[in-house]
Amino acid sequence: MTPACPRPALAALASLMLGACASVSHHVSTTPPVTASPPPAAAAANEPVAQYVPDRDADEVARMRSSAPPAAATIENGHSFDADDDRLGMAGFVRIGHGVYHGSESFVRKAIDQHAAEAGAERVIVYPPAAMLESAANEPGADAWGATYYVRYRLAFGATFRDLREDERTNLGGKGGVEIGSVMGGTPAARANLMAGDYVIAIDNRAIADKAAFAAELRANAGRSITLTTVRNGETSQRIVRLGEAPAAGGTRPEEPARR
C-alpha cells in the first residue's frame, strides 16, 4: 500500500511546497500534460509546480469505489478543510489524495483536472490562495493552491447512528443500543429496510451497549451477514444485513460517522 501522509489541514497542505511527501510529488513545466516524474534538483522558485499525494492505495480505491470513474470530476472551491471533509464524509465520500499547486490559475486548474482524471476522483475541493493563507499565515509557500480528491466508497453499512438518550433507554426497558439516523440509498442498511428512527438493540442476539460497541461489531463483521434486532414504533423485529467490505484501516475517516 502506498504510504499515506498525515491527514492535512490547510497549513499542512501548504507545507508540501517545502517538500513534504516529495517521494510521490512531481514538478511540471508550463507545457501540459502534467506527468509524474521526479522534480529537478534545482527548480526555479517561481516555476509552476504541481504536487499530488495519494492517501489511499489505488487497488483499494478500485475495489471499494461505488461506481466507475466519471468522465470528469465535480470540482468546487472550499474554505475549511475540516468542514468540507466532514460534509463529504457524511455523504459516503473518502479522501483518496491531496495536492498543492503553485502557478497561474489556468495552470493550476489544468493540473487539478489531470490529477483528478488520473486518480479517478469523483469530487475535488479546491482551496484558492486566500483559503490557504487564512489557515497558514506566515507559512512559506502559503500562497499556493490546495486540492483534496474524493471517491464515493461502497459503504459497509450505510447509515449514521447515535447513542440512546436516557428516556429512550427507559422506553426500551433499560436496554442499550443505538438509534439509526440517515440511511443512504443503495447500501446494506437501505437494502435491509432500516429507516431513520429505528432502534438497534442487538446484533446476532448479542445486546448492544452503545454506538462504540455497535461500530466495533460492524467492523468485526465486515463482509458477513448479521441479524439486527430492531424496534420500530414499539414493535421488535429481526433484519438481516449483508455488510459490505470495510475500507482499510488508517485512511481518512470512519466508514460511517457515528452521529447525526
Condensed to tens digits (0 to 9), the pLDDT of residues 27-77 reads 333 333 443 434 444 345 568 889 999 999 999 899 889 889 999 999 999
Find all residues with CB under 8 Å of 26, minimum gap 6, and list them: 34, 35, 36, 37, 38, 39, 50, 51, 52
Residues in the chain where the model's pLDDT stays below 70: 1-46, 134-142, 247-260
Return d(Cα 92, Cα 159) in angstroms, integer: 10
HEC profile of 155-169? CCCCEEEEECCHHHH
Partners of 181 in the β-ladder: none
Reported pTM = 0.61
Give all domains of the chain, ordered by start, each with its CATH number: 10-152 (no CATH), 159-242 (2.30.42.10)
Task: Report DSSP state, residue 1.
Answer: -
3 state SS of 104: coil
Among candidates 177, 128, 123, which has minimal Cα distance to 150? Answer: 123
What would the grid cell of residue 28 be? 511540471
pLDDT one-digit tens code per residue, 69-104:
999 999 999 988 889 988 888 788 889 999 999 999
Return d(Cα 199, Cα 16) in angstroms, integer: 45
Partners of 74 in the β-ladder: 123
Return the CA Rg of the chain.
Answer: 22
